[in-house]
Amino acid sequence: MVSNLFITFEGPDGAGKTSALKDIVQRLEQHNIDFLATREPGGIRIAENIREVILNPAYQEMDAHTEALLYAAARSQHFYEKIVPALQSGKHVLCDRFIDSSLAYQGFARALGVDEVLSINEFAIGKRMPDLTIFFDLQPQIGLARIQANRSDEINRLDAESLVFHEKVYAGYEEVLRRYPERIRIVDASKSLDEVTEDVWKILKEVIV
Ligand SMILES: Nc1ncnc2c1ncn2[C@@H]1O[C@H](COP(=O)(O)OP(=O)(O)O)[C@@H](O)[C@H]1O
Ligand SMILES: Cc1cn([C@H]2C[C@H](O)[C@@H](COP(=O)(O)OP(=O)(O)O)O2)c(=O)[nH]c1=O
């Protein structure tokens, strides 16, 4: 029997993390698995309020340092208020985005430095990293096309960035994959949602079901 795990979903915008997590939640419920599903930035009211500030498309003047610190602040509150208690109570935790998003988006794509962003995050949450990260691998232009095709989805300040920015985010994730190969599993997110969900489920079944 495995102990409970802290699992994160990562990948470019539009890769299908949120959609797959919804389907995975249903399967976990059917299997009577004790879990908490949550998301970043957000998950609790203080962090949802910080999310409103970070992602508001009107705030074009936001400095990259401010952005990185706001993500770290939202993460800190979410981590100590929601994730840690859930893990302590024996639940598996599944989180849509976590620290790797900050390393890829702020550290690499915003060029603040992956080590610098890692260090503000260590201040925010200590050295606890996820036990398992599922990386939704998708070329950024496909993710952006998916978001554009479904305009009813919220288009936030980061979605609205250029393709060049999103290509840097992808390169940032490649750097994250190089740094943490032992905890990251890759799924091909260009497949249909059903196939992607199935691939994620196969990985989860190995560790928690
Ligand atoms: N595998 C898929 N193939 C095609 N479209 C998808 C797939 N997964 C999700 N989508 C669609 O792409 C958009 C972005 O999906 P979403 O789950 O919000 O991605 P993310 O959370 O990774 O940004 C949504 O409109 C969703 O319906
Ligand atoms: C958690 C986190 C998210 N982000 C970005 C990624 C997304 O563009 C945005 C979150 O918006 P969201 O709508 O949740 O995007 P997605 O559905 O793709 O997960 O914030 C960062 O830049 N740094 C971070 O640390």
What is the Å distance from ligand 1's center to 16 Cα?
4
Ligand 2 contact, 97 CB (< 6 A): yes
**Pair of tokens at residue 120:** 């503000």
pLDDT digits (tens, 9 = 90+) for 81-101: 999 999 999 999 999 999 999
- For residue 167, the tally of other CB atoms under 10 A from its CB is 15
Give phi and psi for 136, each to the nearest 5.
-85, 105
pLDDT digits (tens, 9 = 90+) for 9-32: 999 999 999 999 999 999 999 999
**Domains of the chain and any CATH numbers:** 6-207 (3.40.50.300)
ipTM > 0.95, yes or no: yes
User: Whose CA is closest to 36, among 46, 47, 25?
Assistant: 25
Q: Which of 13, 17, 19 to mutate to test the pocket of ligand 1 (most atoms within 8 A of CB)?
A: 19
Please check if 18 is assigned to a binding site.
Answer: yes
DSSP assignment letter at 86: H
Ligand 2 contact, 10 CB (< 6 A): no
- pLDDT tens, per residue, the chain with 209 residues: 468 999 999 999 999 999 999 999 999 999 999 999 999 999 999 999 999 999 999 999 999 999 999 999 999 999 999 999 999 999 999 999 999 999 999 999 999 999 999 999 999 999 999 999 999 999 999 999 999 898 766 789 888 899 999 999 999 999 999 999 999 999 999 999 999 999 999 999 999 97
- The alpha carbon torsion through 26, 27, 31, 36 (nearest 10 deg) reads -60
The answer to whether the Cα torsion of 126, 112, 134, 147 is positive or negative is: positive
- The alpha carbon torsion through 115, 17, 40, 69 (nearest 10 deg) reads 30
Ligand 2 contact, 135 CB (< 6 A): no
